[in-house]
Structure 1
Amino acid sequence: MKKYLLLFITALLSADGSLAELRLQDYRSFIQETLPFSKGMQLERVNLYFNHIVNNYDIHTWGVEDYWATPKEFIVHGSGDCEDFVIAKYFTLKELGVSPADMKIFIVKVKDSQNYHAVLGVKNDHNETLILDNISWKILPLQKRTDLKALYDIKDPALNHSTDPLIQHVLKNFKILQSKINAGK
């Protein structure tokens, strides 16, 4: 894992196009190295791998208030905010063979905060939903994350009928993201 940390620290020092390619090569190597591991170990490795990336607001990273980066954009750029971490972890675990049916993209409220946050929930072999979070290096079951209040899973089809402006905004961004991923971005 030290080599991954070094790669992302180096990324902060340069915006060279070759660095972007190095990051993508590193990611592809990481996927190959992680494939043979158990699901539990894959969760640990993926959470650690991405949590080394710089957490930054979209306005600083992308120049806009709210931008949902594809995993490729996130890796190449080397920084992002909570939904970028969740999206990268979700699609990486999917590539590693974790069923999308076992994963939830939660919008949550963090205790003592007015801000919304995104985390990834993944069912383990004991049917517990484990939380992968860019503000916590430790993976814990949702019920032990007393600092979080899960509001909804953005993959829940019932949300399509919601008139809540926040939900509609999140769903719109998720659809745009899926279009970008399908286009290879």
Structure 2
Amino acid sequence: MKHIYTLLGLIFLIIAYPSSSTLDDFFSADFYQKLTSVYGEKAKKRAVKWHEVIIDNQTDNDWSKINKINYFFNNMIRYEDDLSLWGKKDYWASPVETVGRGKGDCEDFAIAKYFSLISLGIDPNKLRLMYVRQLTLNQPHMVLIYFESPKQSPFVLDNYNAKVLPASKRPDLKPIYSFNAQGLWLAKAKGLGTKVKNSKGVSAWNNLVQRIEQGEMHTFN
């Protein structure tokens, strides 16, 4: 079987063939060898722990999964802005790149959590990446939100505030818009918001998904 080096490819396989062996195909010896050759031994150790947190929590409930993934990335990855890390003003890293570097900005934290939770079996319709304004710092920010049900206030997974809280308990965040693989929504503090068609606001997301789908080697930058 051809080894797949992208987490989105892993997700497609899990949906089609849900089993622990699928995860083993992704986290293969070849994967670790490639990761180590690009990022070093510390990256391999991070990836092993990433593998373990996904494998060990497959049967947990959603609340346990979102808390464990949120804790894992907030403690495993160190914040660094795109310009110093990638030499670009805005770069959305794949989860492999983020784990490999051990660093990332707010978008990278949210993206890694998003794909990891889907690989744990969380319904993608319950997850959205949300652009907000962080009012304490007065700057743009991205978080991941989880809807337990469509009519309830979503929970926020954030690298700035490590505790998973309902959006209604995060007055420091002003929602701007949210999106996932299915589309873009105007964000509201509560509820799903209004879907927006043909928006250019997710070009970085579309570029990331395209890179992951194509399995391009720069997912190992």
| Matched ranges for 1:24-43 at <5 A | 24-43=47-66
1:107 correspondence with 2:131: yes
Letter in 2 for 1:142: A
In structure 1, the residue matched to 2:198 is: 161
Give TM-score, length-normalised by structure 1.
0.82
Higher helix share: 1
Letter in 1 for 2:162: W
**Cα displacement (A) at 1:111:** 1.4
Give TM-score, length-normalised by structure 2.
0.69
The RMSD of aligned alpha carbons is 1.9
Deviations 1:122-170 (A, max 9, x none): 01268431000000111111111111011111334444434xxxxx3x4
Give the secondary structure class of the aligned counterpart of 1:146. coil
Is there any run of 5+ residues in structure 2 with no aligned partner, and where? 1-37, 185-194
- Residues 127, 112 of structure 1: alpha-carbon distance in 2 compared, 3 angstrom cutoff: closer
1:48 correspondence with 2:71: yes
- 2: CA distance, partners of 1:85 / 1:153: 15
- Residues 68, 128 of structure 1: alpha-carbon distance in 2 compared, 3 angstrom cutoff: same
In structure 1, the residue matched to 2:88 is: 64
In structure 2, the residue matched to 1:144 is: 169
Q: 1:18 aligned to 22, 37, 41, which one? A: 41
Letter in 1 for 2:154: T
Matched residue pairs, number?
165
Give the secondary structure class of the aligned counterpart of 2:162. strand
Segments of 4+ moved more than 6 angstroms: none
- Residues 32, 112 of structure 1: alpha-carbon distance in 2 compared, 3 angstrom cutoff: closer
**Cα displacement (A) at 1:16:** 5.5
Is there any run of 5+ residues in structure 1 with no aligned partner, and where? 1-14, 163-167
**Aligned-residue identity in percent:** 32
- 2: CA distance, partners of 1:62 / 1:68: 10
